[in-house]
Amino acid sequence: MPSWRNCLQVLMLILALPFNCVFAADTTTSTATIPSSYFGLHIHHLDNPTPTTWPSVPVPEWRLWDAGVTWPNIEPNKGQWQFERLDRYVSLAKQHGTSILLPLGGSPSWASARPQLASLYSPGFTAEPANLDDWRTYVRAVVTRYRGRIPAYEIWNEPNLKDFWSGTTDQMLTLTKEASQIIHSVDPSALVVSPSVTANYGVPWFEEFLKKGAGQYVDVIGYHFYVDPQTLLPEDMLPVIQRVRQIISDNGLGNKPLWNTETGWFPPARIDSEELAAGFLARAYILSWNAGVQRFYWYAWDNGAAAIVTYKESEHRITPAGHAYQVVQQWLIGARMVSCTPSSDNIWTCQLNRAGKKNWIVWNPQGNRKFDVPKPWQVARITPLLQDRTTLNESSIEIGPVPVLLEGRL
């Protein structure tokens, strides 16, 4: 989770981009059928003394961050391995048909180059390993144990933030190279995901990392498209996604998938209602696919500190945002997104094609207003994000920040 900065940074980034670039569709995603693997999630508390039950919504992909399985958890003392929790997670994922992305890293105190350095986790967590052989041994032990069962590994978490990484870009490049070579040799089918830089202010670190040649060691580019400050809307993710895509292209890496391995909303964001929170989640997923993101891990299912809560553990209740996670999967998976653009009065229209049938998702992030449904669409049914499908009997409807699905006749 990123620390929060000044909104001037976002404004400067947006102004630095050509306006028509901000909403440009990615040709890869616009011609592809949206797969279930686009939808990822973080689940934190499955192994607590009073554990969360497995979500009742589909979880195609699971990123194991803040789940107690970083390097200090796996090898708390040199050579003393504790795989029990990760074993349980891998077994749970298999039971539910879920695929795992495992972040590697966070130095245990005994292996850290700065073992007394304070961190959000254990002392020394943010420092590079003092001995590179310890890193090699850790990576090899994990990948060997889970060969064929964990299909993707991510190198470190948010290295542009001192809360997670206190080393240099060159040191992170070395860790990425060493881990990549081991992963590809032990489990050739496994994917290596780049260190996941976060937010608009991480762009300079990301650009430097790729310019130093990091792209040759990874199969997937990871990034965290948090909006900063958190008072911004899902639409404000778009200029950062476009900037990151441009850097990827400039470094000759345009053939590598772009994954958003962590994003959500946290205080000081104030989202006025649970319904609006659901709209934020749905819009983030809809917009990110159109912008070229090929996988998106929502943070997080059972994290009560979030401004957008999907599951309230104290009440054992799925929130409207949690339901939206399932509904937006139903809307998108198996469809092809033809376009997704705003009008001059800020009404967003995203067209989907599914087996020859046309659907549209519409919303207005600025508030409720009347929307005249175009007659050529031949809309037969309407499904608000949090309501049941009904027959459309009117030529105009009210739309707002919570998306609505309009289904055309065959």
Quote the pLDDT of residue 12: 40
As a whole-number percent, the residues of the chain with pLDDT over 90 amount to 87
- On whether both 325 and 391 belong to a single domain, the answer is no
Contact between 381 and 407 (Cβ < 8 Å): yes
Domain assignment present for residue 67? The answer is yes
Domain assignment present for residue 395? The answer is yes
Q: Which CATH number characterizes residue 404's domain?
A: 2.60.40.1180
pLDDT over threshold 70, residue 44: yes
Quote the pLDDT of residue 25: 57
- On whether both 188 and 324 belong to a single domain, the answer is yes
pLDDT over threshold 80, residue 261: yes
- On whether both 106 and 231 belong to a single domain, the answer is yes
Q: How confident is the model at residue 19 (pLDDT cuts 50, 70, 90)?
A: very low
**Among 336, 365, 389, residue at a domain's last position:** 336
Q: How confident is the model at residue 30 (pLDDT cuts 50, 70, 90)?
A: low
Q: How confident is the model at residue 52 (pLDDT cuts 50, 70, 90)?
A: confident
| Encoded tokens for 348 | 């967003």
Domain that holds residue 35: 7-336
Q: How confident is the model at residue 20 (pLDDT cuts 50, 70, 90)?
A: very low
Domain assignment present for residue 21? The answer is yes
> Looking at per-residue confidence, does 355 or 170 come out higher?
170
- On whether both 277 and 369 belong to a single domain, the answer is no
DSSP 52: P
- On whether both 331 and 394 belong to a single domain, the answer is no
- On whether both 300 and 363 belong to a single domain, the answer is no
Residue recorded with tokens 């909303």? 265
Q: How confident is the model at residue 100 (pLDDT cuts 50, 70, 90)?
A: very high
Contact between 266 and 6 (Cβ < 8 Å): no
Mean pLDDT of the chain: 93
| Encoded tokens for 203 | 């762009």
Q: Which CATH number characterizes residue 68's domain?
A: 3.20.20.80
DSSP 202: G
- On whether both 67 and 215 belong to a single domain, the answer is yes
- Are β-strands 258-263 and 295-298 bridged in parallel, bridged antiparallel, or unpaired? parallel
- On whether both 26 and 42 belong to a single domain, the answer is yes
Over residues 252-258, the mean pLDDT reads 98
pLDDT over threshold 70, residue 295: yes
pLDDT over threshold 90, residue 242: yes
Element holding 221 (H helix, E strand)? strand 221-224
Over residues 135-146, the mean pLDDT reads 98
Domain assignment present for residue 1? The answer is no
Taking only the tens place, the pLDDT of each residue in 183-226 is: 999 999 999 999 999 999 999 999 999 999 999 999 999 999 99
Domain assignment present for residue 144? The answer is yes
pLDDT over threshold 80, residue 246: yes
**Among 306, 336, 366, residue at a domain's last position:** 336
Over residues 159-188, the mean pLDDT reads 98
Quote the pLDDT of residue 238: 98
- On whether both 113 and 146 belong to a single domain, the answer is yes
**Residue 249, helix vs strand vs coil:** helix
Quote the pLDDT of residue 7: 40
pLDDT over threshold 70, residue 22: no
| Nearest Cα residue to 239 out of 23, 3, 1 | 23
Domain assignment present for residue 162? The answer is yes
Quote the pLDDT of residue 409: 87
Long-range CB contacts (within 8 A, 24+) of 311-315: 311/52, 311/55, 313/45, 313/52
**Among 336, 361, 389, residue at a domain's last position:** 336
- On whether both 87 and 198 belong to a single domain, the answer is yes
Domain assignment present for residue 2? The answer is no
Over residues 294-303, the mean pLDDT reads 96
Domain assignment present for residue 61? The answer is yes
pLDDT over threshold 90, residue 260: yes
Please tell me the total count of domains within the chain. 2
pLDDT over threshold 60, residue 6: no
- On whether both 361 and 297 belong to a single domain, the answer is no
| Nearest Cα residue to 373 out of 388, 385, 353, 391 | 391
- On whether both 369 and 278 belong to a single domain, the answer is no
- Are β-strands 336-342 and 317-318 bridged in parallel, bridged antiparallel, or unpaired? unpaired
